[in-house]
Amino acid sequence: MVDAIRSHLPSEPRSAVEERCTHALRSVDLDPGVFRMYAHELSGGMKQRVCIAIGILLQPKVIIADEPTSALDVVTQRQVMETIDRVQDEINAAVILIGHDMGLMAQFVDRVAVMYAGRLVEVSTVREMFTEPSHPYAQALISSLPNLENNGVFQGIPGLAPSLLRLPSGCAFHPRCGKVMDMCRTVRPETRVLASGRTITCHLYNEEA
């Protein structure tokens, strides 16, 4: 924590640095005494919170949280996400949450961007994404989620994600897409605006095609 402050504010006095650190620790519901503890003395959830505290030390405008709850049990996951939610309000920052857990996304984000093979294939509000996803990959992701009507048979997506070094021609999703057309195999789809704030990268929404 001290290194993060020192690298941006080298002339900050020692007492101010410590005050900044203990304030950040309190913001993530940790005892200020954690400032003097070693990493091996902290639980997984406490370590994640310290990482969030490091992230907010300099009052950023944007926080990029890349898989912030991976390897945590669901109770700790919820606590960590609530902490991010609260500090976001406190410092008025935007949060970009990166992850694979669509259920977690549904609870915490306003807008979702689905990425496949390094490209954004659909961007929409969380409600639109979960009620009427448009891109075949987004549709497959949503239909693979467990729900109360599903009696234990989960719908997977056939095939594997491609290597970024050898992307398929045309649309990178075409070998796995249930709606593939001839042009998908050769022509790379452009990103189009589907509606206000909603974009899609798929030939199905290309009127000329």
Between 48 and 199, CB nearer to ligand SF4: 199
Binding residues for ligand SF4, per CB under 6 A? 136, 171, 173-174, 177, 179-181, 184, 189, 202-204
CB of 140 to ligand SF4, least distance (A): 10
Residue with tokens 């789809």: 189
154 vs 72, 136, 141, 149, 167, CA distance in Å? 24, 17, 11, 11, 27
In three-state secondary structure terms, 3 is helix
CB of 85 to ligand SF4, least distance (A): 33
Between 34 and 173, CB nearer to ligand SF4: 173
CB of 184 to ligand SF4, least distance (A): 3
Between 47 and 179, CB nearer to ligand SF4: 179
Between 48 and 139, CB nearer to ligand SF4: 139
CB of 100 to ligand SF4, least distance (A): 19
Secondary structure letter of residue 188 according to DSSP: P
87 vs 44, 108, 120, 207, CA distance in Å? 19, 13, 28, 44
26 vs 32, 47, 54, 78, CA distance in Å? 6, 14, 12, 18
